[in-house]
Structure 1
């Protein structure tokens, strides 16, 4: 069977360029388009997904489902998925499903009908029902979440990342640090991040102060209210998503509290949201784009589909500093934990 690499070699271009031409995208000259189309015709290269699937039992489609994540986080992962997929001559079918299982199941059945080459879930656990709907021949992998059961995934170590983030705030001299935690039902993201925070606080001999949100912006202000009700003298807030952290920054400023002079705020994810706040958010950086690329590579190799842990880092921006009238024990440098 003729592959996209055969067409690329015949036309003297890269597989990514062939993919752009056959999918009607931009980024090439008229001469390049002509050479690629001539190569497609000469080699009888089939670009119809269903026709190819009938012959090979697999199409050049990768499903990308985002059940319940922020647009900022999903777009970072999506960028990496799409880039890696196009380089290999694959198209991406995106499904924004919410948490309603009927929509998730519908997308999965469609992808099975299309004989998708694989499915990527963003921040969602692979369930037994998911595997049953897809059948045995379509690999599936999750990104930005790991259930530690050995399921295929690409993620960071959430507990270690939250531990490192809390230690960073402690290193600045903060002792009264509140956690704006995630949804308690989020066993595989919210729970490990809370454990990391609580472990760091316990080691430092300071009591935890915890309020729960949903990871989304609109839960940030109510979560901040609860934290300050528990301890009005908090000097730092660690939020387990950039969206909640951004909401906390805005709400603190509405109350006349300066960030970071009165209260430092640290986020999580390093999405575009982190740089659209004033002051810009210090945050825990997940390599979301690279995680998307890694997920595509693992799917297409269809082997070694166990969990992969990626490195995280702490990025210091304007929203964090030492508590008032104090100085950090040492100058902080952004760090990376492997």
Structure 2
């Protein structure tokens, strides 16, 4: 059987690993930051009606410009955003891929502050760009001074700021985004995949769009909208950025069914987002109770919590797996990550963590891990 190494793939892709996260049949799956709540029945009925209306026309190509969907997304975002500023694709990863195809590419540099979302370097490699990962400040935070200094030093063509950051949960405030933008002539992408989970009153980078034509704010319907299976991501930016990604997108990339499903969900946004507060309650509970067990918990504004002070993350991961609980070993020294689930899922995790800490005390480091 032929191996990958025997195929004439691009040299810069040799040795790369594809993105992957465990998908196991366990009783508690809290490892990939999914919304734990099913799509409400009232929304299911409305979305089915939307899809049913487009089914007879599937012999025709879908609306290439997905005008109605862009109007719905603009209405949802607010902040004065108009439909001409919106682009969407099959998940926020494809949105980012479109942006890198348009603004990165061979001979160009894409930069982020690590640790951050593991798809960024893979997407960069996919378009032949150099990925530059710059260290964050202590506790995985990012100050305006650090952002401006490192951006000016490395001069990336594309800068990606994940806020709240995956896998750490730490936010990037507006002053830091402004400082980074002013330090570069390149494109700045603020990935707000977890933006709806921020505490009330914390502003979005959408506020910074006016007067900043190189700023892009990426969002997704996968997380807060409980729509991961629908695969719908989008961004808001200057209309010229939308024109740029039209040059690289595949024709008719959003199916009529995807468009109808997304429109139907957006028309029920209040219902779809009704569980966000419950998820934030469980996130805050995780922060308190993990810390009470003696672990280091990092600041988070997402729907997940990263904690340190673990002497052997792989072995602790396995201890949870033996209990049919799937969390995330994100590869950071002494750290693990857990998604805020339902109240029962959170309780199951916390009960297991208490038991593991009590029965395997050597798995908790003598001092909480420092960033």
Place the TM-score, normalised by the shorter chain, in its bin. Answer: 0.3 to 0.5
When Rg is computed on C-alpha atoms for both structures, the one with the higher figure is 1
Instruction: Compute the TM-score of the two structures, normalised by the length of structure 1.
Output: 0.35
